[in-house]
């Protein structure tokens, strides 16, 4: 069973949707499009964890590091159903004494 990411992102975090589409262009100006694959709607979520304690950011960092950018984990986007995601990159922001931030991008995957 996959681990679940249990921290809630800060307000202002969002997401984007990029459908995978195969397109054929014809010489007469027409084109034809079709969804590429059975899971053609991929989602990405640039999330932020602002003004958190250093220990909370360290815990998030340890969780993401344990996945090594390759293993998926379960995450529930605000107002959505739980999905499988990976995180290949994240960064830190120091905001003052014991106030730290972390930014990451969660990418939906469709692993079995």
- Domain spans of the chain? 16-108
Q: Which of 79, 74, 78 is nearest to 63 (CA)?
A: 74
Residue scoring higher pLDDT (47 or 112): 47
Tell me how far apart the alpha carbons of residues 57 and 42 are, in angstroms, rounded to a whole number. Answer: 27
pTM over 0.85: no
Residue scoring higher pLDDT (36 or 60): 60
* DSSP H or E segment with residue 60: helix 54-67
Give 28-58 pLDDT, tens digit per residue: 888 988 877 788 788 899 999 999 999 999 9
Contact (CB, 8 A) for 102 and 92: yes
């Amino acid at each position: 069973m996959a681990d679940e990411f249990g921290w809630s992102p800060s307000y202002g975090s969002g997401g984007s949707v990029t459908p995978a589409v195969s397109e054929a262009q014809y010489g007469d100006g027409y084109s034809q499009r079709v969804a590429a694959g059975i899971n053609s709607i991929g989602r990405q979520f640039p999330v932020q964890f602002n003004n958190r304690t250093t220990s909370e950011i360290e815990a998030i960092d340890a969780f993401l590091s344990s996945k090594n950018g390759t293993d998926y984990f379960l995450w529930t986007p605000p107002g959505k159903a739980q999905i499988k995601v990976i995180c290949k990159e994240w960064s830190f922001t120091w905001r003052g004494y014991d106030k730290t931030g972390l930014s990451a991008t969660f990418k939906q995957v469709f692993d079995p």
